[in-house]
């Protein structure tokens, strides 16, 4: 299907600008494009336009990715007119069970600077209509979980608002699959970091030519990339990457991750993610050191990237010469509909619920795009707020146990801020 995404780009459009950047030195074949979202949603994101980034070895695809990501940022803060305000029990139909949502521990809630509150089923909050992907039935979803630009009211501060699970595509099935994969990826990132999982190294069978080019590019610049097979009990191909640069005191430790149809695809995504993150470090901004003041998406990454924090990454770097090597992972089918069926089956197998909310705005619908938000409450949310890590969520016990890692008390969880951005 042919779609003219350029129709979204104009000074007053969904995407206010599209700007090609110079390719990374030594990676001339990797196009890099930045798109800015429109800023019509006054008050959202501190009135700053959100940015979409496209990197691809296909120049046209890089443009498409950047525009689509900027459009996704735009609808992520779409107006609130379609929400319904009610107590969960008063809604006309079933709703997500608020008692099953990820929770912080008592110690987290007790911290004077904790910004989160436990979900309260008796509180009046705003809701959006969604679809239970396991049954196909309609279901109500807290609006703050489906629209990360929505300003939360006091009773709605039970989630960490971030773009996890939001996806835009011309094909609804690919948008849905993209949202599902991102939720699985962020779960793996959070569980890996909070439980300090000693992941197996990614095996050579997953090093595609594109991955090899990205690794070689790093080596030529004294950037040491280590790739891990971070596939969890969900079984969807996921790669966790650590890039260390001993010569760069501001960005000595950078984390990336990716989930894809294959481990090779996931590895490519993880390494490109690191390229995106690394370029944001050297803009004269000093790291925020007070956990209570963390607010930007880069705050944790900046804080953890400095050379003196290398000890926090020791669980990834210790005994690398004795780590097992693993390419073990089932590939997802090429057909997105078949892949969705398989991913949902794997989520069902671990007792998870998956819900989708259609967030397509009129502007996106006119050019043939679909915007969806996918929620899987049983998976671990990736939180960039150090004091709101949802350490009491059962996933932090159940996922490692399914991967052969024994349970441990909260006091043994990783105390360092999430370094992913």
- The string of DSSP codes covering 8-36 is GBSTTSSEEEEEEEPPPTT-TTSEEEEEE
Q: Rounded to whole angstroms, how far apart are CA atoms 340 and 167?
A: 14
pLDDT at 17: 82
Q: For residue 407, give both structure tokens.
A: 């349970």
Instruction: Give the 3-state secondary structure of residue 374.
Output: strand
Element (H, E) at 246: none
What is the predicted pLDDT for the residue at 45? 46
Rg (CA), the chain: 20
Give the alpha-carbon dihedral of 95, 99, 105, 109, to 10 degrees: 70
- DSSP 8-class letter at 421: -
End-to-end alpha carbon distance in the chain: 33
> How buried is residue 46: exposed, middle or buried, by Cβ count under 10 Å (0-12/13-18/19+)?
exposed
CA distance 318 to 280: 28
CA–CA distance, 214 with 233 (Å, rounded to integer): 28
Distance CA 169, CA 348 (A): 25
- pLDDT for residue 43: 46
Q: What is the pLDDT of residue 306?
A: 95
Taking the C-alpha atoms of residue 10 and residue 335, their distance in angstroms, rounded to an integer, is 34
In this predicted structure, what is the pLDDT of residue 78?
66
Phi, psi of 326 (to 5 degrees): -140, 125
| Secondary structure (3-state) at 256 | strand
pLDDT for 42? 45
Element (H, E) at 153: none
421 residues of the chain, pLDDT tens digit each: 556 777 788 777 788 888 888 878 888 888 888 888 876 554 444 555 678 888 898 888 888 888 888 888 888 876 555 889 999 999 999 999 999 999 999 999 999 999 999 999 999 999 999 999 999 999 999 999 999 888 899 999 999 999 999 999 999 999 999 999 999 999 999 999 999 999 999 999 999 999 999 999 999 999 999 999 999 999 999 999 999 999 999 999 999 999 999 999 999 999 999 998 998 887 667 889 999 999 989 999 999 999 999 999 999 999 999 999 999 888 999 999 999 999 999 999 999 999 999 999 888 888 889 999 999 999 999 999 999 999 999 999 999 999 999 888 899 999 999 999 9
* Sequence-distant (≥ 6) Cβ neighbours of residue 295 within 8 angstroms: 288
pLDDT at 28: 84
Question: Nearest Cα to 67, choosing from 139, 25, 29, 15?
Answer: 15
Please tell me the distance from the alpha carbon of residue 113 to that of residue 229, in angstroms, as a whole number.
35
How far is it, in rounded angstroms, from Cα 242 to Cα 223?
Answer: 10
E strands, 177-327, in order:
201-202, 224-229, 238-244, 253-259, 325-326
CA-CA distance, 184 to 343, in Å (whole number)?
9
Backbone angles phi, psi at 344, to 5 degrees: -65, -35
Q: How many residues does the chain have?
A: 421
Question: For residue 41, which of 66, 19, 17, 16 has the smallest C-alpha distance?
Answer: 16
User: 322 by DSSP, 3-state: which?
Assistant: helix
Separation of alpha carbons 164 and 161, rounded Å: 8
């Amino acid at each position: 299907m042919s779609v003219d995404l350029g129709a979204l780009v104009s000074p007053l459009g969904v995407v206010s600008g599209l700007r090609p950047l110079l390719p990374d030195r030594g990676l001339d074949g990797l196009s890099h494009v930045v798109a800015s979202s429109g800023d019509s949603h006054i008050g959202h994101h501190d009135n700053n336009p959100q940015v979409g980034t496209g990197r691809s070895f296909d120049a046209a695809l890089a443009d498409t990715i950047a525009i689509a990501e900027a459009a996704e940022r735009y609808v992520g803060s779409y107006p609130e007119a379609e929400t319904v305000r009610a107590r969960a029990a008063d809604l006309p139909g079933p709703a997500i069970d608020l008692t099953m949502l990820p929770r912080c521990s008592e110690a987290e809630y007790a911290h004077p600077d904790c910004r989160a509150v436990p979900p309260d089923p008796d509180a009046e909050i705003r809701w959006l209509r969604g679809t239970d992907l396991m049954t196909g039935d309609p279901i109500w979803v807290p609006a703050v979980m489906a629209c990360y630009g929505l300003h939360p009211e006091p009773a709605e501060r039970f989630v960490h608002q971030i773009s996890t699970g939001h996806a835009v595509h011309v094909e609804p099935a690919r948008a849905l699959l993209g949202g599902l994969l991102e939720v699985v990826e962020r779960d793996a990132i959070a569980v890996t970091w909070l439980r300090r999982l000693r992941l197996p190294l990614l095996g050579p069978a997953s090093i595609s030519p594109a991955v090899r080019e990205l690794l070689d590019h790093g080596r030529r610049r004294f950037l040491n990339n280590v790739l891990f097979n971070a596939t969890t009990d969900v079984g969807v191909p996921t790669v966790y990457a650590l890039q260390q640069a001993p010569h760069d005191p501001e960005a000595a430790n950078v984390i990336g991750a990716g989930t894809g149809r294959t481990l090779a695809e996931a590895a490519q995504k993880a390494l490109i993610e690191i390229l995106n993150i690394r370029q944001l470090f050297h803009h004269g901004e000093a790291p925020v050191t007070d956990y209570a003041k963390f607010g930007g998406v880069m705050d944790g990454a900046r804080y953890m990237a400095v050379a003196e924090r290398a000890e926090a990454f020791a669980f990834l770097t210790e005994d690398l010469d004795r780590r097992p090597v693993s390419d073990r992972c089932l590939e997802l089918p090429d057909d997105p509909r078949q892949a969705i069926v398989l991913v949902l089956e794997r989520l069902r197998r671990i007792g998870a619920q998956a819900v989708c909310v259609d967030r397509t705005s009129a502007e996106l619908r006119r050019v043939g795009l679909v915007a969806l938000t996918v929620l899987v409450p049983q998976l671990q949310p990736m939180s960039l707020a150090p004091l709101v890590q949802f350490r009491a969520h059962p996933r932090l016990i159940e996922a490692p146990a399914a991967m052969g890692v024994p349970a441990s008390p909260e006091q043994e969880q990783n105390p360092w801020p999430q370094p992913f951005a």
